[in-house]
Chain A
Amino acid sequence: MLFVTVFFIIPLAMTLFMSFHDWPLIGEQSWIGTTNYTELAKDRQYLKSLDFTFRYTLLVTPPIFILGFILASLVRHNIRFIGIFRTIFFLPVVIGLGVSSLLWVWMLDQRVGIFNKILLDLHLIEKPQLFLAKPTTAMNVIILSVVWKTVGFTMILLLAGLQSIPDELYESADVDGAGYFRKLLYITLPLMRRTIALALILSVIGSVLAFDQFYIITRGGPRNSTISIVYWIFNNSFTYWKMGYGSAISIVLLGILVTLSSIQYYVLRERY
């Protein structure tokens, strides 16, 4: 309880308090009521960032989940050397997101990047590509980097769910002549409902709160097309020194996340 109070309740109360103030990073603060919240509706970049963050979340969640499920299925059984594969798939998760983003900056580089080298060697391109120059390709490479970075975590979550299903159920289904997809549809997915809910909720929360990869790989570009909502909170709070306004966006974002998670939880709840 003490932990929750110190690291959640007090910071949350402080953020809420700050959101009703004109609170510059340096200098005097003053009470302005709900002005920060009413300003949000007029903030073009805030709306753009919200839209971008939701699009990003919609695009990145399915590949993380589907690939995570496929990998979990592949490494489910305890056969020889399977630990090596589990480790390889999980390895990117233990790298910090900042470090992995820097790694991708290097890999995507026009002059020394490995992607251009491979594509040139395979004669798939005629000259080095600027992956970060266009909004679409920038978004795609970010999604690729995040899937690579986080799929191992989803795999581990789903693996735990898969392994908790008793083998006898599959054996009975085999006796009844059920194929792979029938078993998937009528045994695996229903019994993994809780695990799937957890994996999806965590994945969606992570995507809505995405920051590092945009700050490091694209710096919000090109043409400010990859500024996520957390990036916009950071910019307002620390670049423009408007801590009060940044706090107001944070509070709104918290509300959005609670709503999203509740919907997901409701849809994926156990039904008896």
Chain B
Amino acid sequence: MTPRRIVFAVLIMALFIGALPLSAQDEDVTMTMWVRNIGTQVQELIDAWNARGGSQIELTVIPPNEFVTKMGAAIAAGESPDIASIDLIYAPAFAAAGQLLDITDWVDALSYADDLLPAHSELGTYQGRKYAVPFLIEGSFIIYNKGLFEAAGLDPEVPPSTWDELLEAARAISAIDDETYGYYFAGACAGCNAFTYLPFIWASGGDVLSDDYSEATIATDPIVREALEFYRLMWEEGLIPEGASIDDGSSFVSAFGTGTIGMAGTGAFGINTYRNDHPELNLGAFHIPGKDGGAASFGGGDVIAIGSGTQHPEEAWEFLEWMMSEETQLELYAARNRTTVRVSMLENEYSAGDDLVLTAASALAVGHSPYSLVYNDLFNDPNGPWLEMIQIAILDGDIDGALQLGQDRFTQIMSG
């Protein structure tokens, strides 16, 4: 072998040796992902992703109430995850704090970028840059027990479309016996009531925040008072079980599953739970109505973002792109009764003829999500003004006091 050939052989070997660790490194990439505990959907997705080979994802599931606290503490300690599934209303706060990777170029390069759900995409945007894409889609609606409607002499195929009709239906169902109630809400759960109670106000043309989200309108918008009086009336008349007053969200889903509740607010997450755990229930769904008609929904759920401190941005984006792909959306979302992240796929071969799934999907058309950097302090905090106002008004009956307290505390928090 000539010296030139030896040098050539050594160079070729060096290339192979150099390439091997690179390829092994790629195989070995393990990313961390955090998600709040809202069902099995994410675990199924991650299992499917990991089964493909290549980069792997290690999932950490965090109780919903603790997600923001833990995420904030982890970021402060420099231990934030590579990927995070974030309750969409917190996305602006995390983006504003510079903790999410700017993925504008990647998102804009998608051929279906304009097809991503607009409300979720908007909350994933901060100062014109994109930091998150839609991930888990929840639009609130009301689920009802057709069996109880029938037993109460109501037409199970014609659900209420106004507050009065809902009230009458709740009265009729509560009259069945002492163990049966017309309506349910989790009276000690702040987030649950943002999700299922705010839409009653929105659907009637009212709001608790001004259009530009700069000030509170609790004391000035008459619809807010009327909405509180509406729930108060149901509570006073005993149409809601007493135990609801201390439900911190732990019975938010399960209470309706007992079969003794006529109607309750829920989201797409409830569909599989009720169908799997309570196949005996004959279920129907309708949009959250306004006082005299109309409908609204809280566009909730999660967006997914890449942590700004990640060492694996390409791999993380690869996962996001795979998640949004047509195949994943169809086989891992739609086929499992879950709402897709792409508008054009909301109605699909799996949802055809399924009232519940179609209601959950169409709720997004009337969906609304408050855009506020202090959303947690206003609405989701169990000790925050939103829940305190609801409890004082609905459970204690002091509507004037509740409105004033809500207005004052909202204003105080929003003024920093």
Q: Contact residues of A with B, CB < 8 Å? A: 24-27, 45, 110-111, 130, 132-133, 219-224, 227, 231, 235, 238-241
Contact = CB atoms under 8 A, between A and B. Distances in A.
B9 interface: no
Contact of B97 (A24, A111, A223, A238): A24
A27 B413 CA distance: 19
6 contacts: A110-B243, A111-B243, A133-B245, A221-B391, A240-B376, A240-B377
A27 B188 contact: no
A239 B68 contact: yes
Contact of B381 (A24, A110, A239): A239
B118 interface: no
Contacts of A224: 383, 388
Nearest to A235: B383
Given A110-B243, A240-B377, A26 B72 contact: yes
A224 B384 CA distance: 8
Contacts of B188: 219, 221-222
A91 to B, nearest CB: 28
A220 B76 contact: no
Nearest to A49: B383
A26 B188 CA distance: 28
A25 B72 contact: yes
Contacts of B98: 27
B383 A220 contact: yes
Contacts of B94: 26
Among B243, B246, B377, B392: residue with most chain A CB under 10 A: B246
Interface in B76-132: 76, 94, 96-99
Contact of B246 (A25, A130, A238): A130
B69 A222 contact: no
A27 B94 CA distance: 9
A257 B98 CA distance: 38
B248 interface: yes
Interface in B241-285: 242-243, 245-246, 248
Contact of A220 (B68, B246, B382, B396): B382
A75 to B, nearest CB: 38
A239 B377 contact: yes
Contacts of A239: 68-69, 376-377, 381, 383
Among A24, A111, A133: residue with most chain B CB under 10 A: A133
Contacts of A222: 188, 245-246, 391, 395
Given A130-B242, A222-B395, A235-B381, 13 more contacts: A24-B97, A25-B75, A26-B94, A27-B97, A27-B98, A219-B382, A220-B383, A222-B245, A222-B391, A223-B392, A239-B69, A239-B377, A239-B383
Nearest to A45: B383
A224 B190 CA distance: 12
B388 A26 contact: no
Q: Is the interface of B mostly helix, strand, loop or mixed?
A: helix
A235 B391 CA distance: 20
Contacts of A132: 246
B11 interface: no
Report, as a range, how many residues of chain B touch the other chain: 20 to 34
B13 interface: no
Contacts of A227: 383
B7 interface: no
A27 B75 CA distance: 9
B97 A26 contact: yes
Contacts of B73: 25, 238
A133 B72 CA distance: 31
A240 B76 CA distance: 14
Interface string B344-367: 000000000000000000000000
Contact of B243 (A27, A130, A235): A130
Contacts of B97: 24, 26-27
Contact of A130 (B96, B245, B396): B245
A138 to B, nearest CB: 9
B75 A26 contact: yes
A178 B94 CA distance: 72
Contacts of A219: 188, 248, 382-383
A133 to B, nearest CB: 5
A241 B96 CA distance: 13
A220 B388 CA distance: 11
A231 B382 CA distance: 12
A239 B388 CA distance: 16
| 6 A-B pairs with least C-beta separation | A26-B97, A25-B72, A27-B97, A220-B383, A238-B69, A26-B75
A15 to B, nearest CB: 15
A223 B382 contact: no
Nearest to B381: A239
A111 B68 CA distance: 31
Interface string B386-406: 001001100110000000000
Contacts of B388: 223-224
Contacts of B376: 239-240
B409 to A, nearest CB: 8
Given A130-B243, A133-B246, A241-B72, A223 B377 contact: no
A25 B388 CA distance: 25
Contacts of A133: 242, 245-246
Contacts of A27: 96-98
A52 to B, nearest CB: 12
Nearest to B383: A220
Nearest to B96: A27
Interface in B194-253: 242-243, 245-246, 248
Contacts of B243: 110-111, 130
B239 to A, nearest CB: 17
